Amino acid sequence: MSRFLSQEAARLAPYTPGEQPTDAQYIKLNTNESPFPPSPKVLKALSRAEILKLNLYSDPTCGQLNEAIAKRYELSPEHVITGNGSDEILGFAFRAFCGEGKGVAYADITYGFYKAQTALFGLDANIIPLREDFTLNVDDYMDFPGTIVIANPNAPTGMAVPRADIQRLLEADPDRVVIVDEAYVDFGGESCVPMIFRYDNLLVVQTMSKSRSLAGGRVGFALGSAELIAALNRVKYSFNPYNVNRLSLIAGAAAVEDEAYFQKCTAAIRGNRDWAVRELEQLGFTVLPSQANFIFVKSDRISGEDLYRKLKENGILVRWFDSGRIRDFVRITIGSLDQMVALVDEVSRLLEDL
């Protein structure tokens, strides 16, 4: 560890991203990316004329993109903030709504970025275990007075919380903020966006990385009351005013406006997910009920670590978490049907060799 590192930085718990190989030898099913390219409208929008404007700063208000998102969700732009991926938006939220005397609560098994943000900002965290079946029960959060963060659908399990349960949590204490991270909601979850006008303590965070095929574009956004969005902008303009680059602003707006392509891609992934679940269950796997673009699976015949390593040796990347009660599971991104067939064929062969 560097001798120049501050005490505060030494206490950080950095998030560990999934493997990103630089060659093309792997079928990549480990980081929940879309198997489909961006919308054709995105490619058309990113013209040479726009690229030649890269010598100019991007719009700090993200006006064009905010307006496109607002129109899609039938909101006004004052209810929208966009960022450099939803991770940046989450960072703004942790800084805006948590701090001295106001801690944060989230599940023990969930998106690892929450833990990283807690360490970065020196926050008090209340880690609430999922139930034995990996469900999140909002009753376990009712008495917590600080900010609550719920990934819905959850990662890495893929399991979703009914919107009615989130509503109970919002109503139980109108003076605390509830952040619902809907990174995967477009693959079957029940979005909380329709509740924004009824609950000014609700912040919904989404991303264009998964369902709109813009993981490399780094476009995330949040929807909420004007008061919450103003608080996030206060943090943004204290940290990184030009936070979304010119090309991503254009790409994001074009992606949001192509509803037909969005519906086509998400429907295909849901269909591929259903097929993969059936095939893996026939091979004896336990598959948690997923509403995301990935599945969380385990086998009684091979450990999660061995399955991850053997698949990697044979050109397929999945995600394994060396942690507590999920150590026996692997998380598998839902790719194209050809990719899922290749995965199932390889898993079947591995099991036959045991």
Residue 203 sits in the same domain as residue 108? yes
- How many residues are present in the chain? 354
In a domain, 1, yes or no: no
227 lies in the same domain as 83 = yes
Per-block mean pLDDT, blocks of 10 residues, the chain (354 long): 84 82 86 97 92 95 98 97 98 97 96 95 96 98 97 98 97 97 97 97 98 98 98 97 97 98 98 98 98 98 98 96 95 98 98 91
In terms of DSSP H, where are the helices of the chain?
Answer: 7-10, 40-45, 48-51, 63-72, 85-97, 113-120, 163-172, 226-239, 246-257, 259-282, 304-313, 337-352
Looking at the structure, tell me whether residues 205 and 283 fall in a common domain: no
Residue 178 lies in a domain: yes
What's phi and psi for 137, nearest 5 deg? -105, 115
Q: What is the pLDDT of residue 108?
A: 97
What confidence score (pLDDT) does residue 24 get? 65
Domain that holds residue 268: 7-37+260-352
Residue 234 belongs to some domain of the structure? yes
243: Cα within 13 Å, side-chain hemisphere: 28
What total of structural domains would you count in the chain? 2
* 24 and 98 belong to one structural domain: no
CB 294 within 8 Å of CB 269: no
